[in-house]
């Protein structure tokens, strides 16, 4: 049991955040579950009550794009031990690069990259004083390889990967473990409730309209989405490991994608991705 350990999770109202909150609470953790809008706590509250762990979950508002709110929240926890920080808050911005606006791209990066970096920096003084703690970044296989229609999402995750790798070097000598969790395709809300398609993706006047239709059909009907509990169980094991490795790639599709990219000549790999995603005509 982990009854004396506390974990902070961003984006806990749905997806991996919700499942991780309930799973860790069931395993004895005290969970500080944060979300941008507490009005969206209903699903998590219901799940926590159903699992019998409601008393182990604290609900806190936290918009990871608000520096003032991040600073205030970190100050409120300055005297409490924090054993783990899980940066999970994020959303997907499907859309072709040509049809995505600067404002949409900035919003994607503000949440998925700058939000995680800002929250992490806010809690580093506490973790340094303690001399221990785990920082987990919920990244994606899209932070290791890009896919058409997901350029903005990949950009945010590529940035997160590089920043986190550097942070790992800086924090490891201080006793702080920094880890990247890289799921493939799993059955969460990120492509439904938490997806915010670029306006151009659904614009019939876009020069990519026909390709967008084929791409959406591929994403919605041909991409297998595995059980997200696999990812959450991996997160739990990482937190129990005093010396975790930097990257944890999770999912058969993620492993297969990176293997093909590594083994195939680029020309063949490129042709394969273009064909299966509907970009070839």
Q: What is the pLDDT along the chain (281 residues), one digit of tens a residue?
A: 456 899 999 999 999 999 999 999 999 999 999 999 999 999 999 999 999 999 999 999 999 999 999 999 999 999 999 999 999 999 999 999 999 999 999 999 999 999 999 999 999 999 999 999 999 999 999 999 999 999 999 999 999 999 999 999 999 999 999 999 999 988 877 666 656 788 888 888 888 888 888 887 777 766 767 789 999 999 999 999 999 999 999 999 999 999 999 999 999 999 999 988 878 76
SS3 1: coil
pLDDT confidence of residue 207: 85
Residue 212 CB: number of other CB atoms within 10 A? 24
Alpha helices in 93-241, H assignment, sequence order: 102-109, 116-130, 151-171, 209-221, 229-240
Q: Which residues are catalytic?
A: 153
Task: Give the domains, in start order, of the chain with CATH numbers.
Answer: 6-276 (3.40.50.720)
Measured CA to CA, the distance from residue 16 to residue 216 in angstroms comes to: 23
pLDDT confidence of residue 1: 47
Can you list the positions of beta strands (E) in 36-189?
A: 57-61, 84-87, 133-138, 176-183
H or E, element range at 74:
helix 67-76
Tokens of 95: 């859309």
Residues 6+ apart with CB under 8 A from 137: 87, 116, 160, 164, 178, 179, 180, 181
158 secondary structure, DSSP code: H
């Amino acid at each position: 049991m982990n009854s004396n350990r506390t974990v902070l999770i961003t984006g806990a109202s749905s997806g991996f955040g919700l499942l991780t909150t309930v799973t860790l609470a069931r395993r004895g953790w005290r969970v500080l579950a944060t979300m941008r809008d507490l009005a969206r706590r209903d699903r998590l509250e219901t799940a926590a009550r159903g699992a019998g762990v409601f008393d182990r979950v604290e609900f806190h508002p936290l918009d990871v794009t608000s520096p003032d709110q991040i600073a205030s929240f970190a100050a409120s926890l300055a005297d409490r031990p924090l054993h783990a920080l899980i940066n999970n808050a994020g959303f997907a911005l499907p859309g072709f690069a040509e049809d995505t606006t600067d404002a949409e791209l900035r919003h994607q990066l503000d949440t998925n990259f700058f939000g995680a970096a800002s929250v992490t920096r806010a809690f580093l003084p506490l973790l340094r004083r303690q001399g221990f703690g785990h920082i987990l970044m919920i990244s994606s296989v899209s932070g290791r390889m890009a896919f058409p229609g997901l350029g903005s999402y990949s950009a945010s995750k590529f940035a997160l990967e590089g920043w986190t790798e550097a942070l790992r070097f800086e924090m490891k000598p201080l006793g702080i473990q920094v880890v990247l969790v890289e799921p493939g395709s799993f059955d969460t809300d990120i492509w439904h409730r938490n997806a915010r398609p670029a306006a151009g993706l659904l614009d019939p006047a876009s020069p990519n309209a026909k390709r967008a239709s084929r791409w959406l059909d591929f994403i919605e009907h041909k991409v297998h989405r595995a059980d997200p509990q696999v990812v959450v169980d991996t997160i739990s094991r990482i937190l129990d490991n005093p010396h975790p490795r930097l990257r944890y790639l999770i999912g058969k599709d993620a492993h297969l994608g990176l293997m093909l990219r590594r083994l195939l000549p680029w020309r063949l790999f490129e042709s394969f991705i273009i064909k299966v995603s509907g970009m070839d005509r």
